[in-house]
Amino acid sequence: MSKALLEVKNLSMHYDTMEGNVDAVKNISFEVNSGESFGLVGESGCGKTSVAMTLLQLQPDNSVITQGSIKLDGKELIGLSENDLRKVRWDSISIVFQGAMNAWNPVIKIGEQIREAMREHYPENTKQENMNKIIELFRMVGLDESTTDRYPHELSGGMKQRAVIALALSCDPKIIIADEPTTALDVVIQDQILNEIKKVQDLLGLSLIYISHDIAVIAEMTDKIAVMYAGSIVEMGPTKDVFKNPIHSYTRALLDSTPSIRGEKKKLKSLDGEPPSLINKIEGCSFAPRCPNRDTECNPSEHMRLVEVNPDHFADICSQGK
Amino acid sequence: MLIYTVKRFFEMIIVFFLFLIISYLLFNAIPGNAFSSLLLNPLLPPETYQRTIELFGLDKPLFERVQLYIINFFKGDFGYSYIYYPRSPIEVIAERLPRTLMLFSIVNVIAFYSGFLVGKVLAWRRGSKSETWITIGSVFSYTVFYPWFALMMLWFFGYKMNWFPLGKFLVPEKWYDSPYSSDEIFYTLILFTTIGSFLLFLVFIFTRNIESLENRRNARIVGLLFLLVLASIYWSNGEASLKRFYAADIAFHMILPTFTVTLVAFAGTALLTRTTMMEVLKDDYILTARAKGLSQKRIRDRHAARTALLPVVTSFIFTIITIIDGSVLTESIFSWPGMGQLILEAVTREDIPLAMASFSFIGILALIAHFIADVSYAFLDPRIRVKADS
C-alpha cells in the first residue's frame, strides 16, 4: 500500500468552556490515501465538524489539542505557525463548508473572492490567467462564466454551492473536505451537487473527506467510511464492508434507521435516548446507555478501542464479545 | 443605480420645500414680530423701509408671505442683513461658509477615518490590554462634556504649553501689508485640498486592477509620494509661493480646533466600528477567508472591516449634521469666524434675514450630505443597489 496522503493519529481535542471541558474529538486515527474518498458519518454534535476544523487548524480559540498528530504528505500540521499554515490551507487542503449561503462575503463579487485566494497562493499569476482558470472551473461545476461578475445575493443556493466547490478547487488542493455541503439544499439540487463533487473528484484525482449525517449519501460517495459517536470513531472500514457487515451496534442502528430501495419492506427503527453531552467525562463505553444490545455479552465499563475485525475493517472493542 | 439616485434627488427636493416652509413659520412665531424689527430703526432710509415691506410682504396675510419667501429664496433675494447693513446675507455667508466648510470637512474626514481605523484594530485585538485602555479612552471622549473639554484643550495647549494660538483664524499683524485677503487664501486652500483628495482618489481607482497585492501597495505608495512632490512644487512656485506664508498661518490656527473636535468626534465612530466588526467576525465568510489562507491583515481589512463599514457610514450621516450644529460651540470657543458664530450672532441680535439665509444654507448642506451618504451607501452595499433598482 502506498503511503497515506493524510494521516491522523490519536487526535484528541476539547473545547475549554465556562462549564468545563467539552471533549469533542477523542483519540481519533484515520488515513486517507490519494485519490480516495473518505466518509465521516455520525449524529449532529458528535464532533464531525470539529475534526474537519482541526484538519485545517481552524478550530476556535477556546479549543485545545491535547494529543495526536495530523500529517499531510508527511508534514506535521499541528504546531505550525499561522504563516506556515496559510500556505497549507487551500493550497493542499481546501474545505466546502456547511451552508454555502454564508460562505460568501455579501459585498464582494464571486470572481473576486475566488481570485483573492489564487492571488495568495499563486502571486505570479496574471489576472487573465486567474480568470481563465475560474471560468474553466465554473464550466466544470456547471456555472455560467458571467457568475464571476455577480454578487452572492444574486445567486440561488445551488449556484452558491457550485461556486463554493469551484472556490475549493481554485488552488489545486490535494484534499477537499466537504462538510455537509448539501444540508441547506433541496433533494434535487443535493443530487446534482453530489454528482458534481464526484465528477470533479474523479476528473482531478483528488482525495475527498466527506462529512455528513446522511449515511445514504456517504454510501454513494465514499470508498472508505468511519462512523463517529460522541467524539470517537466506533467503526471504520471500506464502505462496502461496513454496509454489508456492520459490526458495531451503533452502525447497525444507524443503518436500520435509513430506508432502503431494494430488499423487503421493513419498519424503520429509531434509537432511544440522546447522544451524551460531551461536557461530562464518560467512563467506559459512551454508547452503552443507548445500546440495544447492552445486556448481551459486552462490557460497558471497557473504554472504546478499535480492533481490526476483518482486513482494513476496524470496530470498537465493545462489540467484540459477540 | 441611476433610478435610485434620481428618486432620492426628488425626495430631497420635497424635503427641502418642507424645510423652507417650516423654518419660515418658526421665525414667524418668534414673539414681537421679528420681521419688522428693522423697521423700528429711525435711521432707516425711506426707500429701504419700503423695500423691506415689499420684500417680506409684511402687509400681506401669512400664506402669501410664505409664498413670497419661497419665490425670493429662488431669486436669491434675502434682503439686507440688519447687523451688517448694506451687505446682503448672501455676501456675509459667502465670506463665512468656506471657513466653516474647510475646518469641518477636514475634521469629519479625519475623525471618520481614524475612528474607523481604531475601531477596526480594537475589534481585531479583542481582549488584549491595549484594547481595554483604548476603549475606556474612547468612551471618555465620547461622553465628555464638550465645551469643558474644548476649554481644557485650549487652556493646556494654547495657554500652558503655548504651542498653539488662542483662537482666531489668523494673526492680524502678519496680514497688515498682505496683498491677498484672507478669503482668497481660503479659496486657494480649499481648492488645493479638494484637488489633492481627488487625485489621491484617482490613484486608488487606477491601482485597483493590479493583480499582485504587493505591486498594488507599492504603486499606491509611489502615487502618494508623487502627489506629495506635486504639492511641494505647487507651493514653491509662482503665485502660490507668495500665498504660502499666509496659508501656513491659517493652517497653523486650524490645528488645535481640528484636533479637539476630532478627538470628540472620532470616538463614536471607533466604538460603533468595534461593535459591528465584532459581530461580523463571527460570520462564516470570515472562516472561509481564513481557510483560503489569506493573511490576517487582509481578512481584517477586506472582509471584516469592509462589511462592518455599512452601519458606520449610516451613523456618519447623522454625525455630519451634529457637527454643523456643534460648530456653534466650537467656533464660539475657538473664536473661529464661521457659520456657527454667524448663526449665533444673527439669532441673538434678531437679524432675521441673515438668520434665515444661514439656516437655509445649513439645510441645503445637510440635505446634500444626506444625498451623498445615501448614494454612497448604495455604492457600498450591492444588496441595496438591487433593491433600489427594482
CA-nearest of B40, B70, B65, B42 to B54 is B65
pLDDT at B136: 93
Q: What mean pLDDT is predicted for residues B189-207?
A: 88
Q: Which of A87, A107, A116 sits opposite B382 (nearest CB)?
A: A107
pLDDT at B190: 87
Chain centroid to CA B280: 29
In a 13 Å sphere around the CA of B285, the CA atoms on its Cβ side amount to 27
Q: Lowest-confidence range among A49-53, A68-72, B28-32, B305-309?
A: B28-32
pLDDT at A269: 75
The residues facing A229 across adjacent strands are A232
CA distances, B171 to each of B176, B246, B331 (Å): 10, 9, 17
Backbone angles phi, psi at B169, to 5 degrees: -115, 5
Distance CA B235, CA A50 (A): 62
User: How much is the CA Rg of chain B, to the nearest whole Å?
Assistant: 25
Contact A106, A153 (CB under 8 A): yes
Q: Which of B289, B298, B381 sits opposite A107 (nearest CB)?
A: B381
CA distances, A83 to each of A25, B75, B209, B282 (Å): 25, 66, 26, 22
pLDDT band, very low/low/confident/very high, at B175 (cuts 50, 70, 90): confident
Interface test with B, best of A94, A107, A129, A151 (most B CBs within 10 A): A107
Distance CA B337, CA B335 (A): 6
Quick one: closest CA in B to A117, which residue? B292
pLDDT at A322: 44
The residues facing A227 across adjacent strands are A41, A235
Return the exposure string of A221-249: e unless at least 16 CB atoms fall within 10 Å of the residue's CB, then b. Answer: bbebbbbbbbbbbbbbbbbebbeeebbbb
Could you tell me if B282 lies within 8 Å of chain A, comparing CB atoms? no
Residues of B in contact with A50 (CB under 8 A): none
Test B382 with A106 for CB contact under 8 angstroms: yes
Chain centroid to CA A146: 31
Distance CA A226, CA A224 (A): 7
Q: Exposed (0-12), middle (13-18) or buried (19+): which is B167, by Cβ within 10 Å?
A: middle
pLDDT at B324: 63
SS3 of A210, please? strand
List, for residues B123-147, the tens digit of each pLDDT value: 988 888 989 999 999 999 889 998 8
Predicted-assembly ipTM surpassing the 0.90 threshold: no
Residues 6+ apart with CB under 8 A from B163: B157
What's A45's DSSP letter? T
Residues of A with CB under 8 A from a CB of B: 56, 58, 82, 85-91, 94-95, 97, 99, 102-108, 115-117, 119-121, 123-127, 130, 151, 153-154, 167
The pairing of strands A37-41 and A224-229 is: parallel
| Of B2 and B229, more confident | B229
Residues 6+ apart with CB under 8 A from B132: none
Could you tell me if B284 lies within 8 Å of chain A, comparing CB atoms? yes
If you count them, how many residues does chain B have?
Answer: 390
Q: Exposed (0-12), middle (13-18) or buried (19+): which is A191, by Cβ within 10 Å?
A: middle
Residues of B in contact with A127 (CB under 8 A): 209, 211
Amino acid identity of residue B139, one-letter, is V
Test B306 with A119 for CB contact under 8 angstroms: no
Residue A178 grid coordinates: 466537504
Residues 6+ apart with CB under 8 A from A168: A94, A95, A96, A176
Residue B127 grid coordinates: 481582549
Could you tell me if B287 lies within 8 Å of chain A, comparing CB atoms? yes
Note the pTM of the prediction, 2 decimals. 0.79
The pairing of strands A37-41 and A207-212 is: parallel
pLDDT band, very low/low/confident/very high, at B152 (cuts 50, 70, 90): very high
CA-nearest of B120, B21, B35 to B351 is B35
Q: How many angstroms away from the CA of B133 is the closest CA of chain A?
A: 23
pLDDT at B60: 81
End-to-end CA distance of chain A: 31
Interface test with B, best of A63, A105, A209 (most B CBs within 10 A): A105
Could you tell me if B174 lies within 8 Å of chain A, comparing CB atoms? no
Q: How many angstroms away from the CA of B272 is the closest CA of chain A?
A: 19
Backbone angles phi, psi at A179, to 5 degrees: -100, 100
Test A130 with B211 for CB contact under 8 angstroms: yes
pLDDT at A1: 43
pLDDT band, very low/low/confident/very high, at B15 (cuts 50, 70, 90): very high
DSSP string, A156-204: -HHHHHHHHHHHHHTT--SEEEEESTTTTS-HHHHHHHHHHHHHHHHHH
Backbone angles phi, psi at A37, to 5 degrees: -115, 135
pLDDT in tens, chain A (322 residues): 457 889 998 999 888 888 888 888 888 889 899 889 999 998 888 888 889 888 888 888 888 888 889 998 888 888 888 888 888 888 889 998 877 678 899 888 999 999 989 988 888 888 888 999 999 999 888 888 898 999 998 888 888 888 998 999 898 898 999 988 887 778 888 888 888 888 888 888 889 999 988 888 888 889 999 999 888 888 899 998 888 888 888 888 888 887 777 767 777 777 777 777 777 777 777 777 777 776 666 666 666 777 777 778 888 766 554 4
Test A105 with B382 for CB contact under 8 angstroms: no
pLDDT at A317: 67
Q: Which of B214, B287, B295 sits opposite A86 (nearest CB)?
A: B295
Query: If residue A134 lies in a helix (H) or strand (E), which one and from where to where?
Result: helix A127-140
